[in-house]
Structure 1
Amino acid sequence: MRGSLQKNTADLADAYLAWWNLAGVDCAIGETPTNWLRPAPAPVQASPAATETLPPLRPQSFDAFLAWLAEDAAQPERRWPGTPILPTGPAQAPLMVVTDMPDPADMSAGRLLADKAGQLFDAMLRAIGLARADIHLASLFFSRPPGGMVEASDLTMAAARMRTHVMLAAPQRLLLLGDRTIRTLMPQDEHRLPIFNHDGGTMPAFATFHPRLLLGQPAAKSECWRILQSLFEEMPQ
């Protein structure tokens, strides 16, 4: 009896579906009528305002690049208070030094690496036979945001800008100061290799502690001195 009942139920379901299929209902339906004969809609074209804006092209000469840093209103530093501290020193210098951003004392003095950190930095340069006038000195950011905090998008922009900067400055060696500078320009494990990738190729690079950290952690000076010795040995005599 049970098998006969199941068979009858299945036959009734098949007949019910066949009736609707003959009626032209062979798919799920809704309450709103659909015009199946209408032409397919044309693809929506993104308006020019909705498309992603490409970053402006950076100048491709050293002097034009420095002028662009000083004058371009789209630089992120224009959002921050204070007078910008722009790069100093010649192109094709024996050494280019890059720090992260001006310290509060730097903003007051109007130059990078001022105050006690600057005195220690000058001593570091003397240890390898150089002075400030010999080097090209720059920072990832040439002004200081409130609290010294920057957004990830600004760090990405600053890294790309610095790759162009290093290419145009064309120093013989590169010295990166501080953890934030190192992580931004040589991310992941690249800082273990003494090579920096810039827009025009590669160049030898060295990384060490920022003088501000050395002032608070004198024990780190021995490691810093070891790196400076390696830098001095690599420099053309």
Structure 2
Amino acid sequence: MRGLLQDEAALADAYMAWWTLAGVDCAIGESPTDWLRPAPTKPVSGAPPATAPVIADKPRTLESFLTFLASDPAQPERRWPGAPILPVGGEQATLMVVTDLPDAADMEAGQLLADRAGALFDAMLRAIGLDRSVIHLASLFTARPPGGMVDAADLATVADRMRTHVALARPRRLLLLGDRTIRALLPTDGAAPPEGLRDFNHDGGIVPAVATFHPRLLLTQPAAKAECWRALQSLIEEARP
């Protein structure tokens, strides 16, 4: 009897060894199984289901945009001292002028392009047959940070904000003042600064834009006035009411 059991055990071992050599090393069934399918993850107890981030709607009118600009607590200027200097001018202006940020004199005066830089800016407008009463004037930043230095992330934020602003203001032409403004709104990938009329893409389409020096630089580098004048010449006929 003992010998018979040993023979049956050997037979069973041989049978299992045969299937192992055939590649079957676990239980099988009649239905195919996708063994490469990732195992399902168990939800973490008490954790809420993941949801997409909620993105607030952008303002849909110039009036609501200005209210948003003045009161939204998430704007980068809320970290800096001083009251914000809001844009001035209505919709569909002959020319919209965008500078980078208020100078110290602007913050004291409560308006953009004040003092000597403002006087030079007014002369630039007169040279193309315009004045402040017919333009829309704005800045990328509505306040001045300590030292006049801004983070790259903040610059990207206000550049996106300005694209919305331009779309709602709907100017006929756009004048960008200063290197920081140009780099934020008309990036050139390291090439030379743009000359003449260029297309500026905003949330609502395209508007022709001209880029030139900020008046504050012209005050310290008078030789740059000739190049600035060449840039403004492209606006003389286009910017007339």
Structure 1 unmatched runs, 5+: 1-20, 27-38
Aligned AA for 2:209? Answer: A
In 2, distance between residues paired with 1:91 and 1:168? 7
1:100: Cα distance to partner? 0.3
Cα distance, 1:151–1:54 mapped onto 2, change above 3 Å = farther
Deviations 1:143-196 (A, max 9, x none): 111111111111111111101100100011000000000000011259456110
Aligned length: 202
In 1, distance between residues paired with 2:55 and 2:97? 26
Percent of residue pairs identical: 67
Query: 1:42 — aligned with what?
Result: 41
1:56: Cα distance to partner? 2.6
1:127: Cα distance to partner? 0.7
* SS in structure 1 of the partner of residue 41 of structure 2: coil
Query: 1:166 — aligned with what?
Result: 166
Cα distance, 1:83–1:166 mapped onto 2, change above 3 Å = same
1:57: Cα distance to partner? 2.0
Cα distance, 1:158–1:48 mapped onto 2, change above 3 Å = farther
Aligned AA for 1:88? Answer: V
Q: 1:131-142 maps to which residues of 2 (within 5 A)?
A: 131-142=131-142
2:94 is aligned with 1:94: yes
1:52: Cα distance to partner? 7.6
Q: More deviation in 170-179 or 151-160? A: 151-160
Cα distance, 1:62–1:41 mapped onto 2, change above 3 Å = same
1:234: Cα distance to partner? 2.4
Query: 2:218 — aligned with what?
Result: 214
Structure 2 unmatched runs, 5+: 1-19, 26-37
Q: Which 4+ runs in 1 deviate beyond 6 A?
A: 47-52
In 2, distance between residues paired with 1:48 and 1:96? 47
Deviations 1:15-36 (A, max 9, x none): xxxxxx99xxx9xxxxxxxxxx
Q: More deviation in 195-204 or 56-65? A: 56-65
- Structure 2 length as normaliser, TM-score? 0.76
* SS in structure 2 of the partner of residue 234 of structure 1: coil
